[in-house]
Amino acid sequence: MSTKEGPQASRRGPYAKSTERRQAILTAAHAVFAARGYRGGSLQDVADRAGMSQTSLLHYFPSKSQLLLAVLNWRDSITGDGTAPPDPEESLVDAVLRQARFNEDVPGVLELYTVLCGEAVTEGHPGRPYFTNRFEELRRSYTRQLRELAGEGRLRPGVDPEVAAASLIGLWDGIQTQWLLAPDKVDMAGCLRGYLELILLPE
């Protein structure tokens, strides 16, 4: 998703303008929800930060919950949603560590994820279906990859691919939270590598 705006932007007319304003709203909403959560951050906060009225904002995103889903999808477009088919040239370990290192450079995105994912376990939270589906797809994707590795004799005997998939995702989320609270004391990539080295056998 490119958001480049060259000198030709004004020549591109109302459509480009509308894209710019949507983008400004998403950026503002990302910051507000990351700092205060979905329930704690108001549409007025987002409008203020985007430099527009709440009425203008509602023209682009008719409700706060629609804005939340747009922010979550936008986040996926930045970090990858983790459910894209794996690159056949890259090992599971390399892919996980590459993503983990990338994430260390975007703490604001991790913060948004952590705050919203925590809130989403509550009844009636508009992000709940998003996170429920996300975890289900991630578990399916990693289970598939681990089953393939098991077929190649690369999974440690006794490791259940489904349990290991859920555990890898859980460890990743949990260690991110610890890292956000104490970045100097927690080695995110080291914990992920340690886990993968436990479940995989060397080639």
Using CB under 8 A, which of 16, 24, 35, 93 touches its own copies?
35
* Residue 49: CB minimum distance to its own copies, A: 15
Closest to its own copies by CB, 22 or 193:
193
Nearest-5° angle of CA 184, CA 185, CA 186? 105
Residues in 82-111 that interact with its own copies by CB under 8 A: 111
- Closest residue by Cα to residue 165 from 83, 99, 106, 104: 83
For the record, the structure tokens of 122 come out as 């509550």
Using CB under 8 A, which of 103, 114, 141, 145 touches its own copies?
114
Residues in 48-77 that interact with its own copies by CB under 8 A: none
- The single-letter code of the amino acid at 141 is S
CA atoms within 13 A of residue 197's CA, in its CB half-sphere: 7
- The DSSP secondary-structure symbol of 12 reads G
Residue 62 to residue 94: CA distance in whole angstroms: 41
By CB under 8 A, residue 199 contacts its own copies: yes
| Residue 183: partners with Cβ closer than 8 Å, 6 or more residues away | 107
By CB under 8 A, residue 12 contacts its own copies: no
Closest to its own copies by CB, 56 or 178:
178
- Closest residue by Cα to residue 70 from 148, 117, 130, 118: 130
- The single-letter code of the amino acid at 77 is S
Closest to its own copies by CB, 60 or 71:
71
- Name the one range near its own copies by CB under 8 A: 16-24, 48-56, 95-103, 133-141: 133-141
Closest to its own copies by CB, 60 or 113:
113
CA-to-CA separations, 22 to 26, 27, 69, in angstroms, rounded: 6, 9, 13
Binding letters toward its own copies, positions 154-193, x by CB under 8 A: --x-xxx--xx-xx-xxxxxxxxxx-xxx--xxx--xx--
Kindly list the residues in this chain that would bind its own copies in the complex (CB under 8 A).
34-41, 111, 114-123, 128, 131-132, 135-136, 139, 156, 158-160, 163-164, 166-167, 169-178, 180-182, 185-187, 190-191, 194-195, 197-199
